[in-house]
Amino acid sequence: MSFQTLGLSEEILKSIKEIGYETPSEIQQQAIPHVLMGRDILGCAQTGTGKTASFMIPLVEILITGQSKSRMPRSLILAPTRELAMQVSEDFNIFNKYLKLQMALLIGGISFSEQDGKLAKGVDVLVATPGRLLDHIERGKVMLKDVKILVIDEADRMLDMGFIPDIEKITKLLPKIRQTLFFSATLSDEIRHIGKNFVINPKEISVNPDTTTATNIESYLINTSHEDKLSNLKKILNIEKIKNAVIFCNKKIDINKVNIFLKKNKFSTVCLHGDMNQSARINSLEEFKSGLAKILVASDVAARGLDIAGLSHVFNYDVPNNPEDYIHRIGRTGRAGLSGKAFTLCSEKEIKSLTLIEKLIKKSINVYKFDEICLESKSPKIINIKSNKLNEEEVLKNKNNHPNIPPIENFINFKQSGQIPSFLTSK
Ligand code: AMP
């Protein structure tokens, strides 16, 4: 199947060509024709599968005809976090490049008056987090009576974050006759039950249920004592050829600790967590996405939806407490057919969480040994890395022996060029 056979307008095909998508991904092949036919969707898709475009492309296509009225959006996309909503809005901008649809992004941390100005002019697409949308509704700044298409993205995350009552409140304000696209990374019985309240006779589609990790991610386990985590993190950062990396921590206090430590050791880092104000979060993301900072030290705020073109590495400074978060964290790399590497630092105290992860992904994670700089596929066990410490010279020697990856400068931004670097595809 090609994008040309989907019956899309010239303007959208042109923007798809420019962004470099050659063929629709599996979820896009399954979803786009049905959305264009006006069907409701109950979709199960992991992030990284092209899920956003699977609803955004047909949504934009459907909205080409028609006009919006002041304060009455024609479509509504609900996302659980500010970051995800921002990213969804970026995808809208891609496919709207040669069209003139209007969009507003309603998320916390941005001034009400700016958002209000856009609503007053009339928008075709409203992308929002539930809380901020309800604030605008309560202030009488937006009416949802004209919404023809509703998208609920990352429904399982909405459930985790306690947003389902808000979504129910919002959907009561929407017309009963509408098209609803409901997406979740997992379709547990609970999510399916919730989903069925929002959709009518949906087409069920499912791609890569969320109990598997993407096959193009090499994931390794570094067994370490709690005290040696920082030094082992530094060691692995020096050994690996990092283009850009996200380091996940479970606690905000550790985000700051890791960030300060790495800065002291001359790594260019920024951090991202829920306690930062919106402009600081946006600044961090922009610095990281533009390549000004090579490392983002983050909480799980960044684990969902964050899409950095060609992210080369993910590090778990801590083993995530919730096993599904492991899949979401490491899924930030190995996206769009590219390969990536993920390293998890695990101390003795975290073995329980690790066991849960390995049960979920149905395999044990390869153990990485600093002394051999080689990989072993065997059940994890605690090894004493302290006694195997490398000196700077050895680290440099190992660095040179490492698989032959071209320098960072050769890495072409996949999003901009549309070309997957050959050294990555041939791996
Ligand atoms: P998502 O699952 O929506 O987070 O998308 C993951 C990544 O896949 C994003 O970087 C998209 O730009 C990229 N992508 C989406 N659709 C395609 C496609 N058909 N071909 C290549 N890359 C794609």
- Whether 144 is in a domain gets the answer yes
Tokens of 312: 């080369």
417 pLDDT exceeds 80? Answer: no
Does the pLDDT value for residue 360 go beyond 90?
Answer: no
Is position 32 within any domain?
yes
Ligand 1 centroid to residue 105 C-alpha, Å? 21
In short, whether 50's Cβ falls inside 6 Å of ligand 1 is: yes
Domain match, 44 and 193 both = yes
223 shares its domain with 177: no
In a domain, 44, yes or no: yes
pLDDT digits (tens, 9 = 90+) for 121-161: 999 999 999 999 999 999 999 999 999 999 999 998 888 88
3 Cα: distance to centroid of ligand 1 (angstroms): 14
> Does 186 contact ligand 1 (Cβ within 6 A)?
no
The conformation of residue 421, written as its DSSP 8-state character, comes to P
Q: CA–CA separation, 297 vs 244, rounded Å?
A: 11
Q: Is 179 helix (H, G, I), strand (E, B) or coil?
A: strand
The finding on whether 224 has its CB within 6 A of some atom of ligand 1 is no
162 vs 169: CA distance, rounded Å? 13
- Residue 304, pLDDT score: 62
Res 34 pLDDT > 90: yes
Coil, helix or strand at residue 185: coil
Instruction: Give residue 330's pLDDT.
Output: 87
Asked whether residue 212 is assigned to any structural domain, the reply reads no
Answer for the pair 151, 103: CB distance below 8 angstroms, yes or no: no
The response to whether residue 208 sits with its C-beta less than 6 Å from ligand 1 reads no
Q: What is the pLDDT of residue 161?
A: 83
What is the predicted pLDDT for the residue at 92? 97
What pLDDT shows up at residue 112? Answer: 86
Q: Provide mean pLDDT across the span 209-230.
A: 80
Is residue 73 domain-resident? yes
From the CA of 138, how far away is ligand 1's center (Å)?
Answer: 35
Determine the pLDDT at residue 208. Answer: 62
Domain extent at residue 138: 3-207
pLDDT greater than 50 at residue 43? yes
pLDDT category, 337, cuts 50, 70, 90?
Answer: low
Residues 131 and 229 reside in one and the same domain: no
Give the residue whose CA is nearest to atom 20 of ligand 1.
21
pLDDT in tens, 163-174: 999 999 999 999
For residue 48, the CA-to-ligand 1 centroid distance in Å is 6
Of all protein residues, the one whose alpha carbon is nearest to atom 15 of ligand 1 is: 50
The answer to which of 7-21, 136-150, 389-403 has the lowest mean pLDDT is 389-403
What three-state secondary structure class fits 290? coil
Nearest atom of ligand 1 to the alpha carbon of 52: 3
Give me the phi and psi of 419, to 5 degrees please: -105, 125
| Shared domain check, 407 and 259 | no
Per-residue pLDDT for 62 more than 90?
yes
Mean pLDDT (whole number) for 414-420: 37
231-246 per-position pLDDT tens digit:
999 999 999 989 999 9
Nearest CA, atom 22, ligand 1: 336
Q: What is the DSSP letter of 389?
A: P
Q: Who has greater pLDDT, 134 or 392?
A: 134
pLDDT confidence of residue 217: 82
Please tell me the total count of domains within the chain: 3
Query: Domain holding 232: CATH number?
Result: 3.40.50.300
**Is the pLDDT at 200 greater than 70, yes or no?**
yes
Q: What angle do CA 270, 127, 154 make, to 5 degrees?
A: 75
Same domain, 183 and 94: yes
User: What is the predicted pLDDT for the residue at 423?
Assistant: 31
* Dist. CA 158 → ligand 1 center (Å): 22
* Domain assignment present for 256: yes
Same-domain status, 341 and 412: no
Residue 406 has pLDDT above 80, yes or no: no
Q: Last residue of some domain: 189, 207, 225?
A: 207
Residue 419 has pLDDT above 70, yes or no: no
Is 322 found in the same domain as 186? no
In short, whether 48's Cβ falls inside 6 Å of ligand 1 is: yes
| Residue 67: inside a domain | yes
pLDDT band for 416, please (50, 70, 90 cuts): very low
Report the chain's mean pLDDT, rounded to a whole number: 83
Q: pLDDT of 84-119, one tens digit each?
A: 999 999 999 999 999 999 999 999 888 888 899 999
Q: Is 221 part of a structural domain of the chain?
A: yes
Long-range contacts of range 305-308, CB-CB < 8 Å, 24 or more positions apart?
305/47, 305/79, 305/81, 305/83, 305/84, 305/87, 305/88, 305/154, 306/83, 306/84, 306/87, 306/246, 306/332, 307/47, 307/87, 307/332, 307/335, 308/244, 308/246, 308/332
Q: Are residues 154 and 44 in the same domain?
A: yes
Determine the pLDDT at residue 385: 28
pLDDT score recorded for residue 373: 52
CA distances from 234 to 242, 258, 287, 374 (A): 12, 10, 21, 18
Residues 307 and 332 in one domain: yes
Nearest residue by C-alpha to atom 5 in ligand 1: 50
Task: Centre a 10 Å sphere on the Cβ of residue 363 and count the other Cβ atoms it contains.
Answer: 13
Phi-psi region of 226 (alpha: psi -120 to 50; beta: other; left: phi over 0): alpha
Smallest CA-to-CA distance from 104 within 72, 138, 149 is with 72
Mean pLDDT over residues 362-373, rounded? 81
**Ligand 1 center to 1 CA (angstroms):** 16
pLDDT tens-digit series, residues 261-273: 999 999 999 999 8
Q: What percent of the chain has pLDDT over 90?
A: 60
Q: How far apart are CA 403 and CA 415, in angstroms?
A: 25
More confident residue, 397 or 319: 319
- The type of residue at 153 is D
34-38, 239-243, 325-329, 385-389: lowest mean pLDDT where? Answer: 385-389
Is 74 in contact with 66 (CB distance < 8 Å)?
Answer: yes
25 lines ligand 1 (CB under 6 A): yes
pLDDT in the model for residue 306: 67
On the 0-12 / 13-18 / 19+ scale of CB atoms within 10 A, 5 is: exposed
Split at pLDDT 50, 70, 90, the class of 54 is very high
- In terms of average pLDDT, the best of 31-45, 183-197, 355-369 is 31-45
The answer on pLDDT for 380 being more than 80 is no
Higher pLDDT, 299 or 403: 299
Distance CA 140, CA 138 (A): 5
How many Å lie between the centroid of ligand 1 and the Cα of residue 180? 22
The reported pLDDT for the residue numbered 305 is 57
Looking at the fold, whether 82 and 109 belong to one and the same domain comes out as yes
**Final residue in a domain of this structure, among 174, 207, 240:** 207
Contacts of 345 (CB under 8 A, 6+ apart): 222, 224, 229, 232, 233, 315, 316, 317, 318, 319
363 Cα: distance to centroid of ligand 1 (angstroms): 27
Q: Ligand 1 pocket, 323 CB below 6 A? A: no
Task: Copy the structure tokens of residue 388.
Answer: 């195997």
Pocket residue to mutate for ligand 1, from 28, 94, 97, 307, most atoms within 8 A of Cβ: 307
My answer on whether 330 and 246 are in the same domain is yes
Q: Do 130 and 224 have their domain in common? A: no
* Separation of CA 210 and ligand 1 centre (Å): 17
Strand ranges, E, within 116-223: 125-128, 149-152, 179-184, 203-207, 217-223
Ligand 1 atom closest to 309 (CA):
10
